[in-house]
Structure 1
Amino acid sequence: MMNVVDLKKIYSQILSLSEECKRCIDCEACDRVEELIDYVVQNIDKMSIEGQTETRRILNSIIALRKEI
């Protein structure tokens, strides 16, 4: 079962990958971010209600960050 600690680790990975971004169209960092987001979305229903709320908040932050890039 995925929990908020796992999610925060994934979010940290996404942030570090986003910092590597060179604003190109396609690269390994972007692909890895997409994989991590897909993993979180697929596993959200395995979390507690509190975990799901935190997950949605973090996913919204990730989406906002991706729109900036």
Structure 2
Amino acid sequence: MMNVVDLKKIYSQILSLSEECKRCIDCEACDRVEELIDYVVENIDKMSIEGQTETRRILNSIIELRKEI
């Protein structure tokens, strides 16, 4: 079962991968970010209500970050 600690680790991985971004169309970092986001979305229903709320907040942050890239 995924928890908020796991999610925060995933979020930090996404942030570090986003820092590697060279604003290209497709690269390994972008692929890895997509995999991590898919993993979180697939597992969100296994979290507590509080965890789901935190997850949605973090996913929204990731979406905003990706819009900037």
TM-score of the aligned structures, taking structure 1 as reference length: 1.00
Q: By how many angstroms is 1:63 displaced?
A: 0.2
Q: By how many angstroms is 1:3 displaced?
A: 0.2
Is there any run of 5+ residues in structure 1 with no aligned partner, and where? none
* Count of residue correspondences: 69
Show CA shifts across 1:16-44 (max 9, x none): 00000000000000000000000000000
| CA distance in 2 between partners of 1:16 and 1:34 (Å) | 14
Q: By how many angstroms is 1:15 displaced?
A: 0.1
Task: Name the structure 2 match of 1:10.
Answer: 10
TM-score of the aligned structures, taking structure 2 as reference length: 1.00
Q: What value does the CA root-mean-square deviation take over the aligned residues?
A: 0.1
| CA distance in 2 between partners of 1:7 and 1:67 (Å) | 20
Is there any run of 5+ residues in structure 2 with no aligned partner, and where? none
